[in-house]
């Protein structure tokens, strides 16, 4: 509670929360949630407790009356793993369980991917349904300190994928029904690595960390000599270059993030975190994902082409669609728009998408078609 009272921290991430074993009548995480929520109410503040958990189970965020711990949110690692494997073709370590577009579609629908299938890397079947849990209970990301810092050289996505992929990732995250997390500098495509670094006064502890890192890398079959986590030069390499966001592609990407965040706030169908008002379709053959969201006043249609070639998708009639964003437009550093800016929805329309691009349409019901 000292973090909340003395330092006015408004959110705490609970590291490796799934590893906390407690056989008491009331689990430690439930007791923590009740205590923090009670203190926050006294202070007339809201303090968020966010769990890191690699288990596809909703117990962390389910309410106590449903035998959950009542935390505010938890990380959705499956979303990250699906996006990373799709766009980088990395199949090392736990990424060997990922790579299919349908898995990303499942993450949109359920937050968790693995409910029934056996998972080779985890050697168990951990999943539970999560469709009943609101989207604001899950935090999604394409990068974070673990996923960037744990690999041997700490490469960011900007070094593993191209500019079109970085724009596509922005759309996949910010147009989802979940809470997005951005890793420092991600919004402008920061290129500095984030290698794992430590500063211990005990040399034996530094040696133990070096040895542990080398053992961890064996599972990923990475070659080379990792940076020394205790060396000052390792820390220096991780410093950000904020000037990258002031011009060129960095500025374009930053502007795209701003526009997506604006639309996420202002468009009713995107502002909702409900996953009952959500339809997701995946075409694994072409790599095209179509996500339709709606509320009582309108609709939003996001189409993502994750493939390296052009892709097409048929849009059913019944809605007038106005294009809000096309990542392939020159405005966003692309080669030129590939889809129309407006179509009335009187007939089925086939959209042709550029490789590694996405398009967002805002729509309203077409009364002429409805009759």
Neighbours of 5 (CB within 10 A): 11
| CA–CA dist 256, 335 (Å, integer) | 16
DSSP H or E run through 27: none
CA 185 to chain CA centroid, Å, is 15
What DSSP letter does each residue of 67-106 carry, written as one string? T----SEEE-HHHHHHHHHHHH---SGGGGG---HHHHHH
Does 15 participate in catalysis according to the annotation?
yes
Residue indicated by tokens 């809201």: 46
| CA–CA dist 165, 357 (Å, integer) | 7
| CA–CA dist 175, 290 (Å, integer) | 11
| Pairing label, strands 138-140, 179-180 | parallel
Find all residues with CB under 8 Å of 167, minimum gap 6, and list them: 253, 256, 327, 332, 333, 334, 357, 358
Does 299 participate in catalysis according to the annotation?
no
| CA–CA dist 217, 223 (Å, integer) | 9
Find all residues with CB under 8 Å of 1, minimum gap 6, and list them: 35, 36, 39
Residue indicated by tokens 């006064």: 201
Q: Which of 6, 22, 34, 52 is catalytic?
A: 52
Q: Which of 5, 10, 15, 266 is catalytic?
A: 15
Residue indicated by tokens 């950000």: 240
| CA–CA dist 327, 61 (Å, integer) | 34
Residue 291 buriedness (CB in 10 A; 0-12 / 13-18 / 19+): buried
**Contact assessment for residue 49 and residue 14, using Cβ atoms and an 8 Å cutoff:** yes
**Contact assessment for residue 71 and residue 51, using Cβ atoms and an 8 Å cutoff:** yes
Neighbours of 135 (CB within 10 A): 19
| CA–CA dist 52, 69 (Å, integer) | 13
Residues acting as catalytic residues = 15, 52
């Amino acid at each position: 509670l000292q973090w909340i009272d003395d330092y006015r921290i408004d959110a705490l991430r609970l590291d490796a929360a799934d590893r906390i074993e407690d056989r008491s009548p009331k689990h430690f995480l439930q007791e923590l949630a009740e205590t923090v929520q009670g203190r926050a109410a006294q202070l007339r503040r809201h303090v968020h407790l966010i769990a890191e958990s690699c288990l596809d189970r909703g117990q962390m965020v389910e309410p106590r009356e449903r035998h959950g711990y009542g935390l505010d949110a938890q990380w959705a690692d499956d979303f990250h793993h699906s996006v990373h494997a799709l766009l980088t073709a990395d199949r090392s370590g736990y990424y060997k369980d990922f790579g299919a577009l349908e898995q990303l579609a499942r993450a949109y629908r359920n937050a968790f991917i693995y409910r029934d299938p056996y998972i080779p890397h985890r050697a168990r079947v951990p999943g539970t349904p999560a469709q009943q849990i609101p989207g604001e209970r899950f935090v999604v990301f394409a990068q974070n300190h673990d996923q960037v810092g744990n690999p041997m050289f700490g490469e960011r996505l900007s070094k593993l994928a191209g500019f079109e992929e970085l724009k596509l990732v922005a759309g996949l995250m910010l147009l989802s029904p979940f809470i997005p997390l951005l890793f420092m500098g991600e919004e402008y495509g920061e290129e500095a690595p984030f290698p794992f670094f430590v500063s211990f006064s005990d040399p034996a502890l530094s040696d133990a960390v070096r040895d542990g890192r080398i053992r961890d890398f064996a599972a990923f079959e990475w070659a080379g000599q990792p940076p020394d986590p205790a060396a000052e030069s390792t820390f220096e390499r991780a410093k950000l270059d904020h000037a990258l966001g002031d011009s060129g592609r960095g500025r374009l990407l930053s502007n795209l993030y701003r526009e997506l965040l604006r639309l996420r706030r202002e468009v009713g169908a995107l502002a909702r975190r409900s996953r009952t008002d959500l339809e997701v379709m995946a075409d694994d053959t072409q790599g095209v994902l179509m996500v339709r969201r709606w509320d009582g006043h309108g609709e939003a249609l996001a189409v993502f082409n994750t493939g390296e070639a052009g892709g097409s998708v048929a849009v059913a009639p019944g809605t007038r669609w106005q294009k809000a964003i096309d990542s392939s437009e020159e405005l966003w550093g692309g080669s030129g728009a590939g889809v129309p800016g407006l179509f009335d929805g009187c007939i089925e329309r086939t959209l042709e998408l550029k490789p590694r691009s996405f398009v967002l349409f805002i729509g309203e019901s077409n009364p002429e078609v409805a009759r």
